[in-house]
Amino acid sequence: MKTITVHASQTYPIWIENGILSQCGELLREQVKAETAAVITDDTVDQLYGKQVTDSLEQSGFRVVKFVFPHGEASKCSKTLNAIYDFLCENAITRTDCLVALGGGVVGDITGFAAATFLRGLPYLQIPTTLLAQVDSSVGGKTAIDLPGGKNLVGAFKQPVAVLCDPDTLRTLPSETLADGMGEVIKYGMIRDEKLFALLEQYNLETIHEVIGTVIANCIDIKRQVVEHDEFDTGERMILNFGHTLAHAIESYYHYETYTHGSAVAAGMCMMAEKTCAPEIYKRLCDCVTAYQLPTTVLAPMGELVPLCGKDKKRASRDLRYIVCEEIGNAQIRSMPFAEFSAWMGGTTA
């Protein structure tokens, strides 16, 4: 079993191994003294993996209770959160008990936020079951729910007690959801790791399973380094947002219906690279993105996308910060007055 240890405000292990889902009970037992494990999951993941996780937890002596909500981003809201709080009250969950987030980023984010806030905080285990959740959302302690006014507007930093990552669970993912995660994987290669990028260039969406464990471990280790340097997102952590300034605008322009997050990130990276990279680097990125069945651009006019970039909640005053990778493996944070950025991107004139 590969273990990566994160040294943030809380130190915790990330275990990566095919088949370790069935050992989640014994592994969690090493981390917490909890009597009860409250599993939070969605209906799709529950059907696939709920019993395996419950059985393993019970075999390790946990009393197990389970809350299941409908899959999808629409569930990452205050209504579901309140239902989770009610469920934890009904089951007499105490601060020494433990939550278990079993699922993709939606489950991880809302369970993490419940763990940060219920009884002013209790431990939680992340068991990510999508590629995006394994390489990104389960690591680093960002938790959140969405509001009608925007995504992830209410949240907290709350590190898990551990992350259990079983690449075998990715075999049941629809290919579009796997591709979505590959958008973030390609991003890691672009921002920090040319060798990872070169490895990705040798595979495609059908064949990546052959090396997925290595790829996941590389991505998690990059995220670990970034989080250890800037846990609370005041500087370096922003490099994880390569492609995201345009991606958020693309998702919003299409009302979160046409492009998944990972596909919007892929297009956002390529569109930014076209403006900032040498042609051969832009071509390598586009070829890699295409091999994973992701888009390299969108039809929406830049003039309509750029104003939506300004709505990013992380925007600092009148300046807009964005990430460029002029070379593969080397990200830089840039800042420009919004009007100048708009003119430079071909939106409106300054």
Q: Give, rounded to a whole angstrom, the gap between the first and last alpha carbons of the chain.
A: 54
Q: Smallest distance from the beta carbon of 136 to ligand GLY, in angstroms?
A: 5
8 Å CB contact between 230 and 151: no
Q: What are phi and psi of 246, to 5 degrees?
A: -75, -35
Of residues 238-257, those binding ligand GLY (CB under 6 A): 240
List 142, 187, 224, 261, residue binding ligand GLY (CB under 6 A) = 142
What's the CA gap between 227 and 220, in Å, rounded? 10
Residue 52 binding ligand NAD, by CB under 6 A? no
Question: Is residue 152 part of the contact set for ligand NAD (CB under 6 A)?
Answer: yes
Which does residue 192 bind out of ligand NAD, ligand GLY, none, counting CB within 5 to 8 angstroms by kind? none
Contact by Cβ (8 Å): 246, 305? yes
- By 3-state DSSP, what share of the chain in percent is helix, strand and coil, each rounded to 5? 50, 20, 30
User: Which listed range, 29-37, 99-107, 118-126, 203-211, lies at the site for ligand NAD (CB under 6 A)?
Assistant: 99-107
Q: Does 65 bind ligand GLY (CB under 6 A)?
A: no
Residue 130 contact, options ligand GLY, ligand NAD, none, Cβ 5-8 Å cut-off depending on partner type: ligand NAD
Stretch that binds ligand NAD, among 55-63, 97-105, 273-281, 296-304 (CB under 6 A): 97-105
The crossing angle, in degrees rounded to 10, of helices 78-90 and 105-117 is 60
State the Cα–Cα distance between residues 342 and 302, nearest whole angstrom. Answer: 9
What does 117 bind: ligand GLY, ligand NAD, none (CB cut-off 5 to 8 Å by kind)? none
DSSP state of 47: I
Which residue from 188, 186, 45 is spatially nearest to 127, judged by alpha carbons? 45
Binding site residues, ligand NAD, CB under 6 A = 42, 44-45, 48, 71-73, 76, 103-107, 109, 129-130, 132-133, 136-137, 140, 142, 151-152, 169, 172-173, 177, 180
